[in-house]
A = this chain, B = another copy of it.
Amino acid sequence: MSITDKSTDSTTDKRADWIAVDWGTSRMRAWAMTDGGETLASASSDKGMGSLAPHQFEAALLADIGDWLSAGRTTPVVACGMVGARQGWKEAAYRAVPCKPAPELMSVPVTDDRIAVYLCPGLKQQVPADVMRGEETQVAGLLAAHPGFEGVVCLPGTHSKWARVIDGQLSRFQTFMTGELYALLATQSVLRHSVGAEGWDDVAFASAIAIALQSPAAVSGRLFSLRAEALLADLAPESARARLSGYLIGLELAAARAYWGGQSVAIIGASALGRHYATALQLLDARSEIHDGEALTLKGLHAAYQQITGV
């Protein structure tokens, strides 16, 4: 199923100069772009990397971007994310940190001569072992939007990342499974009976953050308390939700203190999750600023595109 988010009327007289693609495990999003980095149209589908065999990627891409192409012209397509993983279209080998986040692109052979496809490699860190695919493009976008940026970047998500940027380079990073842990506990564990799918409780969240920072080990015992309090004291589902989120984000912040302590943090992701991280950091007297994730992905892909074309 493809969903075109914006009208593509404008593209009949104004074809894409190039196409930006964020291709993750479960979704693919594409944007028709101008050389200057303006967005003409966008599309998204659920044909994520996880559901495709290598030979299926080209057709999945063309199904969504075909309208943006011109016969007789080769349009560059620049894609970041899990599309470049070993199980993806073609493996784009990790580059080792420290390095500039704006990548050297890897070309992928295609059969349709209307496109030339380039993948952004992910980053790796040997000790402690860590990897990222996609987030490096957002950090590159942050540097493109704020030249000279130095400091700490937090990218909340299924696998949230903390990264340090010094002298234009991504010097080190660490991944936390906080988002995936939250989803597993909230929807698959015994806590699913007690944790609401919506609603929020600011006080409960703040209290959980404080507990996790003060005594990280206690979190492992506090989780089941959410179920027990629901049984014994009618804990509200929205409060359980905010506390579960607070315990897990708090545990991450306790471990990531070396990143955010005494720093101003650039949070990438203007979602509710990004705002929860900002709130938590504020509770810990750390400053943060939220940046829109999609905008930075496009800026990072644009920076990569400029490397190809020399625009």
A residues near B (Cβ < 8 Å) are: 86, 94, 124-126, 128-131, 159, 174-178, 180-181, 184-185, 188-191, 215-225, 227-229, 231-233, 248, 251-252, 254-257
Q: Which residues of B contact A252 (CB under 8 A)?
A: 220-221
Contact B128 A225 (CB under 8 A): yes
Also in contact, A220 and B178, with CB within 8 A (given A188-B184, A190-B159): yes
Query: CA–CA, A248 to B251, complex, Å?
Result: 14
In-complex Cβ contact of A221 among B86, B174, B185, B225 (8 A): B174
Is the contact region of chain A dominated by helix, strand, or loop, or is it mixed?
helix
Query: CA–CA, A94 to B202, complex, Å?
Result: 31
Smallest CB-CB A-B distances: 7 pairs: A216-B217, A217-B254, A129-B228, A217-B255, A175-B224, A129-B229, A184-B184
Contact A224 B176 (CB under 8 A): yes
Q: What are 6 A-B interface contacts by the 8 Å CB criterion?
A: A124-B231, A130-B224, A176-B220, A217-B255, A217-B257, A219-B251
Q: Which residues of B contact A178 (CB under 8 A)?
A: 220
CB-nearest residue of chain B relative to A224?
B175
Q: Which residues of B contact A228 (CB under 8 A)?
A: 124-125, 128-131, 175
Q: A173 to chain B: closest CB distance in Å?
A: 11
CB-nearest residue of chain B relative to A218?
B255
- Max chain B CB contacts within 10 Å: which of A159, A189, A224, A227? A224
Contact A129 B232 (CB under 8 A): yes
Q: A276 to chain B: closest CB distance in Å?
A: 16
Contact A223 B177 (CB under 8 A): yes
Query: CA–CA, A194 to B252, complex, Å?
Result: 22
Contact B232 A124 (CB under 8 A): yes
Query: CA–CA, A14 to B222, complex, Å?
Result: 49
CB-nearest residue of chain B relative to A174?
B221
CB-nearest residue of chain B relative to A161?
B224
Contact A251 B128 (CB under 8 A): no
CB-nearest residue of chain B relative to A251?
B220
CB-nearest residue of chain B relative to A126?
B232
Known contacts A175-B221, A184-B184; 18 additional CB pairs below 8 A are: A124-B228, A128-B221, A128-B228, A129-B232, A131-B227, A175-B225, A177-B189, A177-B220, A180-B189, A181-B223, A184-B188, A216-B217, A217-B255, A217-B257, A220-B251, A220-B255, A221-B252, A221-B255
Query: CA–CA, A285 to B154, complex, Å?
Result: 39
- Max chain B CB contacts within 10 Å: which of A174, A175, A221? A221
Q: Which residues of B contact A232 (CB under 8 A)?
A: 94, 124, 126, 129, 131
Query: CA–CA, A222 to B256, complex, Å?
Result: 12
CB-nearest residue of chain B relative to A122?
B231
CB-nearest residue of chain B relative to A87?
B193
Contact A231 B184 (CB under 8 A): no
